[in-house]
Amino acid sequence: MVIRATVFGENVHENKNPIVRSIYPDGMHETIAAALREDAGIVSSTVTLQEPEHGLTAEKLAETDVLLWWGHVAHGEVSDAVVERVVERVWQGMGLIILHSGHFSKIFKRLTGTPCALKWREAGERERLWVINRNHPIAAGLPECIELENEEMYGEPFSVPEPMETVFVSWFQGGEVFRSGLTYQRGSGRMFYFRPGHETYPTYYDENVRKVLRNAVKWAYNPGPAWTAITDAPNVPVETALEPIEERGPRLHQAGEAGYR
Amino acid sequence: MVIRATVFGENVHENKNPIVRSIYPDGMHETIAAALREDAGIVSSTVTLQEPEHGLTAEKLAETDVLLWWGHVAHGEVSDAVVERVVERVWQGMGLIILHSGHFSKIFKRLTGTPCALKWREAGERERLWVINRNHPIAAGLPECIELENEEMYGEPFSVPEPMETVFVSWFQGGEVFRSGLTYQRGSGRMFYFRPGHETYPTYYDENVRKVLRNAVKWAYNPGPAWTAITDAPNVPVETALEPIEERGPRLHQAGEAGYR
Amino acid sequence: MVIRATVFGENVHENKNPIVRSIYPDGMHETIAAALREDAGIVSSTVTLQEPEHGLTAEKLAETDVLLWWGHVAHGEVSDAVVERVVERVWQGMGLIILHSGHFSKIFKRLTGTPCALKWREAGERERLWVINRNHPIAAGLPECIELENEEMYGEPFSVPEPMETVFVSWFQGGEVFRSGLTYQRGSGRMFYFRPGHETYPTYYDENVRKVLRNAVKWAYNPGPAWTAITDAPNVPVETALEPIEERGPRLHQAGEAGYR
Amino acid sequence: MVIRATVFGENVHENKNPIVRSIYPDGMHETIAAALREDAGIVSSTVTLQEPEHGLTAEKLAETDVLLWWGHVAHGEVSDAVVERVVERVWQGMGLIILHSGHFSKIFKRLTGTPCALKWREAGERERLWVINRNHPIAAGLPECIELENEEMYGEPFSVPEPMETVFVSWFQGGEVFRSGLTYQRGSGRMFYFRPGHETYPTYYDENVRKVLRNAVKWAYNPGPAWTAITDAPNVPVETALEPIEERGPRLHQAGEAGYR
């Protein structure tokens, strides 16, 4: 059993900003995909915003067990049709890992139903991500905290739903805190938000960050068949009720009619 | 302190279907609003789909503490702009109570990020809503279960996020079960889904159902000021950091620049 | 409607340690009770470890809507019988607010089912409690963070169950973070853990801390009747089943017999 | 990687009640252990109440990845010392699956901090366990519901904490419902409560029930090292703080002193 991970990279700053290009000459998505390949149980590929349908065709998504998402400056350029396609695949069971500035991606806002807003400061300050539950699968093999010497600050309040689990909480040098690792379930898909990864710092080369990415892919993987019927609203005819019942009272619908949506 | 509740009624079947009209001659929304008025601490008004902006102007929403939503056949006719306006008010602190077939309303799907699908059967069968936590504010004053002799069946799986609390679970005569009362928090707004209320049955005349509606309005009410800044993503300048820090390393943004969304 | 709050004070260091006595000459419990009295809707009284049954007789608990608990050096001296009595009252609907070093109290460990352990350092360092949800009732009227110039550090991992809500997260000068405000529900009782309050600092004179105490009392208050039957496991005889059923198959129990516990 | 499951059987009714003995001639624990062995990835063994330390020595627990617990009439005979030992192993990462009448076991009450009470009726009625999330690992491979022709009824309210996830909800012929599959996290251990399994019916021979047992063992398995330090409360000396700080203000503890518990 090998997990098929797809990394979406916005791939804009890598081509416009010399600092970002010097850190991630092949694009951030390639660095992330390479981190995943260090685990023999994961195969990873990449897609970018610039490809037709951002590379996320129905076929590609059908072959994706876990999708990782890095975007920042071009959230608005992501096609609404692709967003809906990704969202449906999550409901059906695909795992989704939202990275850093992806908090404002259409997909994360769509799946949480919240603003996903936060405070921020770009000062290259020190961040420490403290592990809340040492034996959470996403924290496997980590020290008690991950220290990143230079990162962008994200500060609370982070307007997201209460998570299923808080996996990391960050300390920032300038005085703020942030819930940096949060898990959610949407339909049969698992979702993980992971905070670090500002494009002007070499965060995705950090060994602990790379370990989190691999752990998260394995945690988010759902081996079950795609739950394609999750959006259906089937009528159960009276005749096939599990307990014998007789129809009583008035009704709106004729037998076999679809419900209203 | 009086809570201002607004009841949105789709108001379609009441005008087209003689059965529905005979049960709810003034519209379901008026029956629901009247149930709320039995509590001296609640003032209620109604709006309908047919009004301009469905009656849900910015002014009306600003004066609404808790919105109740009943819709069914015309979910698709609800304006997307109004949906976004309602969603923002929920994030800011307005309570929201979604009734029955509102599970498929744009607003509920938008705020949950899930399909909100379920099984259904219109056979006038018996339903019992069992109280899970007797002292939950929404269940105050109820017997151990609410029995409705004729209701539409909704069956699991109900594809919504794990709730904050499960307040009711329904038993149906034909053999199914359903999580009938679920609480959520979105931003600073509280949301409650309450299952019963098919339009061909006199459900909203049931004394226990009416008590739940009143209890839910009181539970969902947030006395705090509207959190209008909840969608902002403010930059915290280095100079005003709570702990003195120096800017280090490269950056994308110039001082005072807005973030990307 | 007035909420009756009872403050339990361990009252040991106040009598042994001159620093603590100089800060809290009447005992920490009196300072806490005075903070509550600043709200006209709360009446507060105090009990201490040294009283018979620690002042927490069945009568006293029956007249208590919300109990606040401060203990530290003498957790082991709290009577197990009193602990069980308090726990039952929480299940029945009494609110419980656990303060600071009360994380290791018998009562908190009993109600969470977890070790409730943490890291600590007594260095008088700066703490900032960041508000996660501005409109949570417990955070009403607070600025975006509470700053305490001198406090003991508590650091993650804090081995408690995932909370219902995370209300505060603390930043510490020495580099750690802590989930400082956590809500739980146990039976029909609400429970809130609030971190600050080391006895060698004047924390309970801080206006924002005092506001949190009052807010928390109002949040934890359950106006419903005590759910005294919550520990019962009643048999429902076949003859009184809501749906007519016939007894089938073998059985262990005779009619009217109590279940095994 | 093979998961080591241990099945605790109370083993009382099997030896006293001819009906139970005829259904489970080798004891319920042996039937359960045999169900687990149908998965090549699980090795299972059994222990009983009657053995010294109920067979749950520190050595046995150290070699147990997941413990399954079936008890009913003799909850009170389980040694408190063994209960604490089991609880600590759960905190350290051992999975725990509580079966049927184990809702009133000392271990489940200890780990939930709640009464764990419910309604019951022993009438051999029909039960249907509806699957809430089809792709939850515990529900893998199941039909949309598990139908058991004869079972004991358990009815809400079930006085337990809100679960992490509701996996099953039961329908009973006599009119009640019950949350039949609930997940919890305690420390680094996962816990699952699974309702069916009254001793006078052949429930543990049902293929779907057996599948749930195997699925639950795999779900509850934590491959990480035991978190043996989870009950420690380590002091972090000022000199080793991650950020340089100076001690300020008064203190209670001398350097190197243990905290109070």
Token pair for residue A44? Answer: 């990873």
Q: How far apart are the first and last CA of chain D?
A: 39
pLDDT tens-digit readout, B77-103: 999 999 999 999 999 999 999 999 999
Chains contacting D (3+ CB pairs below 8 angstroms): A, B, C
What pLDDT score does D250 carry? 83
Name which of B135, B227, B243 is nearest C188 (Cβ-Cβ): B135
Nearest to A238 among B121, B185, B235 (CB): B121
- In whole angstroms, what is the distance from residue A260 CA to residue B199 CA? 13
> CA–CA separation, A107 vs A67, rounded Å?
11
Q: Which residues in D lie closer than 8 A to residue B166 (C-beta atoms)?
A: 162, 166, 179
For residue B12, the model assigns a pLDDT of 95
Residue at token pair 């009704």? A251
At C143, is the secondary structure helix, strand, or coil? coil
Interface test with C, best of B135, B144, B170 (most C CBs within 10 A): B135
Residue among A134, A164, A187 whose CB faces D188 most closely: A134
Cβ pair B177:D177 closer than 8 A: yes
Query: In chain D, which residue's Cα lies nearest the Cα of B177?
Result: D171
pLDDT of residue D253: 78
* Cβ contact C260–D104 (<8 Å): yes
Question: At C1, is the secondary structure helix, strand, or coil?
Answer: coil
State the pLDDT at residue A139.
Answer: 97
Quick one: tokens of A190?
């698992």
- pLDDT tens for D20-59 read 999 999 999 999 999 999 999 999 999 999 999 999 999 9
Q: What are phi and psi of C97, to 5 degrees?
A: -120, 115
Which token pair is A64? 């994706």
Model confidence at C252: pLDDT above 90: no
pLDDT confidence tier of residue C244, bands split at 50, 70 and 90: very high
* pLDDT of D189 strictly over 80: yes
Strands (E), D34-144: 42-48, 66-70, 95-99, 119-131
Q: How far is CA C14 from CA C8, C9, C36, C76, C148, in A?
A: 14, 10, 20, 18, 21
**Which residue in this structure is represented by tokens 């936590």?**
B133
Q: Which residues of A touch C166 (CB under 8 A)?
A: 162, 166, 179
DSSP codes of every residue in A24-74:
-TT-HHHHHHHHHHTSTTEEEEEEETTSGGGG--HHHHHT-SEEEEE-STT
CA dist., res. A66 & res. B113, Å (int) = 18
- In whole angstroms, what is the distance from residue B65 CA to residue B216 CA? 12
Whether A242 and D136 lie within 8 Å, measured CB to CB: no
- For residue A261, what pLDDT band results from cuts at 50, 70 and 90? confident
Distance separating alpha carbons of residues D98 and D68, to the nearest angstrom: 6
- Confidence (pLDDT) at B188: 94
User: Which tens digit of pLDDT belongs to each residue from A159-202?
Assistant: 999 999 999 999 999 999 999 999 999 999 999 999 999 999 99
Coil, strand or helix at A228: helix
Pick from D73, D114, D119: which is nearest to C260 by CB? D73
pLDDT in tens, A55-114: 999 999 999 999 999 999 999 999 999 999 999 999 999 999 999 999 999 999 999 999
Minimum-distance CB partner of D164 among A135, A145, A164: A164
Burial degree of B257 (CB within 10 A; 0-12, 13-18, 19+): exposed
User: Helix crossing, B28-37 with B207-220: angle to 10°?
Assistant: 70
Give me the residue from A157, A175, A179 closest to C131, CB to CB. A157
pLDDT at D257 over 80: no
Q: Which residues pair with C235 in a beta bridge?
A: D120
Question: Which residues on neighbouring strands pair with residue A8, listed in sequence order?
Answer: A47, A69
Q: What is the pLDDT of residue B8?
A: 98
Place of tokens 């725990």: D96
Q: What is the mean pLDDT of chain A?
A: 96
Which structural domains are found in chain B, ordered by start? 3-116+181-229 (3.40.50.880)
Is B158 exposed, middle or buried (CB count within 10 Å of its CB: 0-12, 13-18, 19+)?
Answer: buried
| Per-residue pLDDT, A258 | 78
- Give the pair of three-digit tokens for residue D7: 């099945």
Best mutation target among B156, B158, B178 (most D Cβ atoms within 10 Å) is B156
Residue of C126, C131, C134, C135 to mutate, interface with B, max B Cβ within 10 Å: C135
Stated as kind and residue range, the H or E segment containing A248 is none
Question: Residue D146: which H helix or E strand, with range?
Answer: strand D145-155
> What are the pLDDT digits (tens) for B215-230?
999 999 999 999 999 9
pLDDT interval class at B130 (50, 70, 90): very high
C-alpha–C-alpha distance, residues B213 and B194, integer Å: 9
Model confidence at D68: pLDDT above 90:
yes
> How many other CB atoms are found less than 10 A from the CB of residue B82?
19
Q: How far apart, in whole angstroms, are the C-alpha atoms of residue A197 and residue A69?
A: 11
Name the residue type at position A16: K
Q: What is the pLDDT of residue A206?
A: 98
Q: Are A48 and A8 in contact (CB under 8 A)?
A: yes
ipTM above 0.85, yes or no: yes
Token pair for C85: 């009595």
The pLDDT tens digits of the residues spanning D200-232 come to: 999 999 999 999 999 999 999 999 999 999 999
CA distance C193 to C212: 11
The pLDDT score that the predictor gives to residue A253 is 78
> Closest partner residue to D171 among B144, B165, B175, by Cβ?
B175
Whether A140 sits inside 8 A of D242 (CB atoms) is no
Average pLDDT over residues D120-133: 96
**pLDDT (0 to 100) of residue D252:** 83
- Is residue D103 within 8 A of residue C233, CB to CB? The reply is no
| Identity of the residue in D93, D135, D145 whose CB atom sits nearest the CB atom of A222 | D135
What integer is the mean pLDDT of D115-144?
96
Which residue out of A92, A128, A134, A135 would a mutagenesis test of the D interface target, given it has the greatest number of D Cβ atoms within 10 Å? Answer: A135
Judge: A157–C134 Cβ closer than 8 Å, yes or no: yes
From residue C247, how far is each of B175, D10, D174 by CA, in Å?
19, 26, 10
Q: Which residues of D touch B (CB under 8 A)?
A: 128, 130-134, 144, 155-158, 162, 164-166, 169-172, 175-177, 179
Positions of E strands within chain B: 3-9, 42-48, 66-70, 95-99, 119-131, 145-155, 165-172, 177-186, 189-194
Contact D156 B128 (CB under 8 A): no
Task: Judge: B122–A241 Cβ closer than 8 Å, yes or no.
Answer: no
Q: What is the pLDDT of residue C258?
A: 78
Question: Is C230–D159 a contact, with Cβ atoms under 8 angstroms apart?
Answer: yes
- Could A252 and B200 be called an inter-chain contact, meaning their C-beta atoms sit closer than 8 Å? yes
Q: Is C230 helix (H, G, I), strand (E, B) or coil?
A: helix
The pLDDT of residue D96 is above 80: yes
What is the structure's pLDDT at B51?
98
Name the residue of chain B whose CA is nearest to D173's CA: B175
DSSP string covering D175-214: S-EEEEEEEEEETTEEEEEE----TTS-GGG-HHHHHHHH
Best residue in C136, C158, C171 to probe A by mutation, most A CBs within 10 Å?
A: C171
Instruction: Return the pLDDT at C231.
Output: 95
CB pairs under 8 A between B and D: 60
- Which pLDDT belongs to residue D34? 98
Q: Report, as an integer, the average pLDDT of C178-205.
A: 97
| pLDDT attached to residue B167 | 98
What is the pLDDT averaged over residues B170-190? Answer: 97
Give the tens place of pLDDT for each residue, C50-60: 999 999 999 99
Q: A with C: how many residue pairs have Cβ under 8 Å apart?
A: 60
Give the integer Cα–Cα distance in Å for D87 and D96: 9
Mean pLDDT of chain D, nearest integer? 96
For residue B158, the chain A residues in CB contact (below 8 A) are: none
Residue D58 DSSP code:
H
